[in-house]
């Protein structure tokens, strides 16, 4: 799960990680008030989940409260387009107003799971304020890494290594090691999946501050953290995906016009792939899961039918624990409530496949039966074109 | 022969009295798997379908000689269940549970290091040695005894591959789902090594997916040490970056872990790669001649 920058900074503040003073506003009047309280130069930052906000015009410097109000007025409600939002952009509903910081140096600091070792890894780089993916690709040696042995935890020498490696001295050095250690506590205590401070700033008077903050969380661990779950911003998510998640369906909207409904994540991805290989484009990823029942299938089908870009639907089920007759019943139930106005191609294999096909054939729904995986995809692509 | 499990495997089921555990225990017994014990804390001295239930894994092992365990307990308790089995000296632990917090698995991973327990999963369908033992939730009827090994990160896509092999007249030695999470107990590489050493396996089908670098590591191993042919597919060629495709581990992060990269690594290592997931059976037949 993702959260906004202002929310991440609230969490960091709780753990004693230094962040700029500031407040969040959803009106320009409130923005002005915060700027007045902060005094002096402030930064107005659009709060959307995507990165690259500065380049898109979502981050502005304001010399005083008047300017802060003006910038907030312009940014709030704007459709912000960045390299991460896609061409459609994202409407800005909140801005973060923060004190101006006297920056001496911009660095990078991040914490993430290293899947190869199964350990958390701290990453630091002098190349702050730029896209870290780019640094990793072009100059991997510029990123220092320290792995954490889970049984003993992070050791002080590792923190020192990173701080020295960043070229820090004196007070900034001491503050940085404390900063790293507190940040790691915030990561571990909240079951994060990623923390990125980019840039991590050293001020002219040797303070270490998280100028920006990004925190993602492990969906599997959200049950432990109600406070984090409450930070979920549904307006940042695709409405179809939100609807699907209510029914425990894994759904992701894509750009094509062939809808698909599949059991299992791997088979769902493979179904998308084979649609593409057959000359079509998948409209979505939809995994009805290993415990699909009539209701989940019905709800999944409704979501597909509400997407008007879809020109054909391919249902690909390999019954194991999920029985094909149950899936077929779900489709029949859905058809009673939603009009099916696109061709439906069904491939059922595995447990009770024959019974499932019979249920569909005896229903009033017009279906195209496919005997295998690639035939199903080819039919779907043909029918979507006609 | 086969790898990991056969007719001599003595299985215990952790979470045998839960709804998942009880359902699949019956299915496994029906398949012919030897289940010697169940474990549900607080239900020791009861029994389930004539299988004795114990309070602890240690009790179960001491009393029945169980040498493998399958775990069906809910996510908040699953990491503990894995470590309990390892502590009791169980050689093979297969964790079916989906949704274990990653930081819990970081601890498990550390706990298992240097020990003798092999973990498969979590978030996996388990394994089948056709005609001998089924551990987990795979449908038994699709598999046929034979000489092709199958390793996959996915559940139903494994069934798809196994079904294709069977339809081509190619049976399987052992089929294993290794799980879709970021941290799993056994990797492609670990199991490829076992198949390489198994006299009764002639070729291996490996089905990877986007995210992580386990497929690349497997490719390195195949290139340097494997003599048997490997047939590969990577799911998620059309997956967008930054989106978790169902499995917690199936995500293209920071531009890394794409299907294209992985397919290239596999091909470069001499693995027979297909872009077409419905062509796995045919390709395997071709490769084996």
pLDDT at B262 over 90: yes
Which residues of A are less than 8 Å from B210 in CB distance?
A: 269
Residue in the structure block whose two tokens are 């020791």: B44
Torsions phi, psi of B168, nearest 5? Answer: -85, 5
* Among chain B residues, CA nearest to A262: B156
Indicate the DSSP class of residue B256.
B
Query: Distance between CA atoms of A29 and A42, rounded to whole angstroms?
Result: 15
Q: Are A73 and A62 in contact (CB under 8 A)?
A: no
Phi and psi of A53, rounded to 5°? -65, -35
Q: Looking at the DSSP assignment, which residues form a beta bridge with residue B205?
A: B150, B231
For B178-222, the pLDDT digits (tens) are: 999 999 999 999 999 999 999 999 999 999 999 999 999 999 999
Alpha-carbon distances of A327 from A243, A292, A359, rounded to whole Å? 20, 8, 10
The phi, psi pair for A49, rounded to 5°, reads -70, -25
d(CA B122, CA B110): 15
Query: pLDDT tens across B90-147, in order?
Result: 999 999 999 999 999 999 999 999 999 999 999 999 999 999 999 999 999 999 999 9
3-state secondary structure of A348: strand
Nearest CA in chain B to A323: B139
Torsion of CA B195, B197, B201, B206, to 10 degrees: 20
Query: Hey, are the CB atoms on B159 and A219 less than 8 Å from each other?
Result: no
d(CA A316, CA A123): 42
pLDDT at A80: 93
Question: Nearest-CA neighbor of B132 among B119, B143, B120, B148?
Answer: B143
A19-50: b (≥16 Cβ within 10 Å) or e: bbebbbbeebebbbbbbeebeebbbbbbbbbb
Enumerate the residues of chain B whose CB falls inside 8 A of the CB of residue A125. Answer: none
Considering only CB atoms, B153 lies closest to which of A266, A350, A373, namely A266
Partners of A321 on chain B (C-beta within 8 Å) are 137, 139
CB pair distance less than 8 Å for A321 and B245: no
Residues of chain B with C-beta less than 8 angstroms from the C-beta of A119: 106, 109-110
State the DSSP code for A149: -
- CA A212, distance to chain mean position in Å, is 17
- Catalytic: which of A5, A196, A251, A298? A196
Q: Do B139 and A320 touch (CB under 8 A)?
A: yes
**Rounded to whole angstroms, how far apart are CA atoms A293 and A247?**
11
What is the token pair recorded at A150? 């889970």
Q: How confident is the model at residue B1 (pLDDT cuts 50, 70, 90)?
A: low
Question: Can you say whether residue B37 is alpha, beta or left, with left for phi > 0 and alpha for psi between -120 and 50 degrees?
Answer: beta
Q: Which residues contact A113 (CB under 8 A, 6 or more apart)?
A: A119, A120, A121, A193, B102, B106, B182, B183
The residue of chain B nearest to residue A371, with distances taken between CA atoms, is B278
Contact A266 B158 (CB under 8 A): yes
Q: Do residues B233 and B203 lie in contact, with contact meaning Cβ atoms separated by under 8 Å?
A: no
A chain contacts of residue B158, beta-carbon cutoff 8 Å: 266
Q: Looking at the DSSP assignment, which residues form a beta bridge with residue A95? A: A25, A46
Q: Which residue in A184, A252, A269 has the most chain B C-beta atoms within 10 A of its own C-beta, making it the best mutation to test that interface?
A: A269
Give residue A165's pLDDT: 97
Cα torsion at A178, A182, A188, A189 (round to 10°)?
Answer: 150
Provide the percentage of residues in chain B whose pLDDT is more than 70. 100
Task: Using the predicted structure, report yes or no on whether residue B244 has a pLDDT greater than 90.
Answer: no
ipTM: 0.92
Q: Which two tokens stand for residue B181?
A: 């999470």
Contact A264 B156 (CB under 8 A): yes
- Non-local CB neighbours of A131 within 8 Å, separated by 6+ positions: none
Task: Tell me the pairing of strands B11-14 and B68-71.
Answer: parallel
CA A307 – CA A167 distance, rounded (Å) = 53
Determine, for residues B156 and A262 on separate chains, whether the beta-carbon distance falls below 8 Å.
Answer: yes
Q: What is the DSSP string of B205-235?
A: EEEEESSSSHHHHHHHHHHHH--S-EEEEEE
Cβ A273 vs Cβ B235: under 8 Å: yes
Smallest CA-to-CA distance from B58 within B81, B79, B75 is with B81
Residue among B106, B158, B214 minimizing CB distance to A120: B106
Instruction: Specify the pairing of strand A42-46 against strand A284-287.
Output: unpaired
Spatial neighbors of B218 by CB under 8 A, at least 6 apart, are B187, B188, B189, B192, B206, B208, B266
Closest CA to A379 of A255, A258, A298, A256: A258
A196 is catalytic: yes
Query: Of how many residues is chain A composed?
Result: 386
Chain B contact for A349, CB < 8 A? yes
Nearest CA among B98, B160, B120, B169 for reference residue B5: B120
Position of tokens 């039966």?
A369
pLDDT of residue A97: 98
**pLDDT, position A333:** 86
Cα–Cα distance for residue pair A372/A317, rounded to 1 Å: 10
Choose among B255, B220, B265: nearest CA to A136.
Answer: B255
| Interface probe, candidates A52, A114, A220, A371, chain B, greatest B C-beta count within 10 A | A220
Among B235, B236, B238, pick the best mutation site for testing chain A contact (most A Cβ within 10 A): B238
pLDDT given at position B78: 97
Which is nearest to B202 in space by CA: B183, B169, B227? B227
Give yes or no for a contact between A271 and A260, defined as CB atoms under 8 angstroms apart.
Answer: yes
CB-closest option in B106, B217, B248 to A119: B106
What pLDDT is stored for residue B250 in this prediction?
87
pLDDT at A120: 97
In eight-state DSSP terms, residue B112 is H
Partner B, chain A 109-138, Cβ-Cβ below 8 Å: 113, 115-116, 118-120, 132-133, 136-137
- Of the candidates A6, A108, A187, A251, the residue annotated as catalytic is A108
CB < 8 Å to B109, chain A: 118-119, 150
Query: Residue B270 corresponds to which tokens in the numbers above?
Result: 């001499």
Contact check, Cβ <8 Å, B154/A193? no
As averages over each run of 10 residues, the pLDDT of chain A (386 residues) reads 96 98 97 96 95 90 96 95 84 96 96 94 92 84 95 96 96 97 98 96 96 96 96 90 88 93 94 96 90 83 90 91 87 84 91 89 88 91 90
Q: Do B157 and A267 touch (CB under 8 A)?
A: yes
Pick A220's closest partner by Cβ from B75, B163, B275.
B75
Long-range contacts of A224-231 (CB under 8 A, 24+ apart): A224/A191, A224/B101, A225/A190, A225/A191, A228/A1, A228/A3, A228/A190, A229/A1, A231/A3, A231/A4, A231/A7
DSSP string of B140-196, one letter each residue:
GGG--EEEEEEEES-SHHHHHHHHHHHHTT--EEEEEE--SSSS-SS-HHHHHHHHH
Contact of B6 with B174, CB cutoff 8 Å:
no
Q: Give the Cα separation of A10 and A93 in Å (integer).
A: 18
The alpha-carbon gap from B283 to the nearest alpha carbon of chain A, in Å, equals: 15
């Amino acid at each position: 799960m993702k959260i906004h920058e202002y929310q991440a900074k609230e969490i960091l503040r709780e753990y004693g990680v230094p962040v700029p003073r500031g407040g969040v506003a959803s009106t320009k009047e409130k923005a002005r008030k915060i700027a007045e309280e902060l005094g002096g130069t402030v930064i107005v930052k659009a709060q959307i989940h995507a990165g690259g906000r500065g380049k898109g015009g979502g981050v502005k410097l304001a010399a005083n409260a008047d300017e802060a109000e003006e910038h907030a007025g312009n940014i709030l409600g704007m459709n912000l387009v960045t390299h991460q939002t896609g061409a459609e952009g994202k409407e800005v509903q909140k801005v973060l107003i923060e004190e101006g910081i006297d920056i001496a140096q911009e660095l990078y600091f991040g914490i993430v799971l290293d899947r190869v070792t199964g350990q958390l890894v701290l990453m630091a780089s002098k190349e702050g304020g730029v896209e870290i993916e780019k640094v990793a690709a072009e100059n991997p040696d510029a990123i220092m890494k320290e792995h954490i042995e889970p049984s003993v935890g992070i050791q002080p020498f590792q923190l020192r290594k990173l701080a020295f490696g960043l070229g820090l001295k004196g007070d900034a050095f001491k503050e940085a090691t404390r900063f790293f250690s507190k940040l790691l506590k915030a990561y571990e205590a909240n079951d994060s999946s990623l923390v990125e401070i980019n840039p991590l700033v050293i001020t002219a008077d040797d303070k270490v501050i998280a100028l920006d903050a990004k925190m993602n969380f492990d969906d599997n661990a959200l049950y432990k953290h109600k406070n984090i779950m409450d930070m979920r911003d549904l307006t940042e998510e695709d409405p179809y995906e939100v609807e699907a998640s209510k029914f425990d369906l894994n759904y992701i909207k894509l750009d094509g016009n062939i809808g698909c409904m599949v059991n299992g994540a791997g088979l769902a991805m493979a179904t998308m792939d084979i649609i593409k290989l057959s000359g079509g484009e998948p409209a979505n990823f939809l995994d009805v899961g290993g415990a699909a029942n009539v209701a989940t299938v019905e709800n999944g089908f409704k979501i597909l039918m509400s997407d008007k870009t879809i020109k054909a639907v391919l249902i690909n089920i390999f019954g194991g624990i999920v029985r094909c007759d149950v899936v077929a019943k779900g489709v029949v139930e859905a058809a009673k409530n939603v009009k099916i106005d696109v061709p439906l191609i069904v491939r059922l294999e595995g447990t009770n496949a024959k019974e499932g096909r019979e249920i569909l054939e005896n229903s009033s729904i017009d279906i195209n039966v496919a005997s295998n995986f690639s035939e199903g995809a080819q039919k779907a692509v043909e029918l979507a074109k006609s | 022969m086969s790898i990991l499990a056969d007719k001599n495997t003595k299985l215990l089921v952790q979470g045998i009295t839960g709804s998942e555990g009880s359902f699949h225990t019956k299915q496994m017994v029906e398949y012919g798997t030897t289940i010697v014990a169940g474990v549900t804390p607080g239900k020791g001295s009861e029994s389930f379908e004539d299988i004795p239930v114990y309070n602890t894994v240690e009790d179960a092992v001491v009393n029945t000689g169980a040498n493998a365990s399958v775990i069906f307990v809910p996510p908040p308790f699953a990491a503990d269940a894995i470590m309990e089995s390892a502590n009791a000296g169980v050689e093979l632990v297969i964790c079916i549970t989906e949704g274990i917090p990653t930081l819990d698995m970081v601890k498990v991973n550390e706990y298992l290091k240097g020990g003798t327990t092999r973990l498969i999963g979590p978030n996996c369908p388990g394994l089948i040695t056709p005609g001998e033992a089924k551990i987990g939730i795979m449908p038994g009827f699709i598999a046929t005894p034979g000489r092709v090994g199958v390793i996959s990160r996915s559940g139903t896509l494994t069934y798809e591959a196994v079904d294709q092999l069977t339809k081509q007249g190619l049976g399987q030695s052992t089929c294993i789902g290794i799980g879709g999470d970021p941290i799993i107990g056994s990797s492609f590489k670990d199991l490829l090594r076992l198949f390489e050493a198994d006299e009764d396996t002639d070729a291996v089908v490996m089905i990877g997916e986007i995210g992580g670098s386990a497929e690349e590591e497997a490719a390195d191993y195949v290139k340097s040490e494997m003599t048997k042919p490997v047939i590969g597919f990577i799911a998620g060629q059309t997956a967008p970056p930054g989106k978790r495709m169902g499995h917690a581990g199936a995500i293209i992060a920071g531009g890394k872990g794409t299907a294209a990269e992985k397919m290239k690594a596999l091909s470069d290592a001499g693995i027979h790669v297909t872009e077409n997931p419905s062509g796995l059976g045919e390709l395997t037949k071709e490769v084996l001649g």
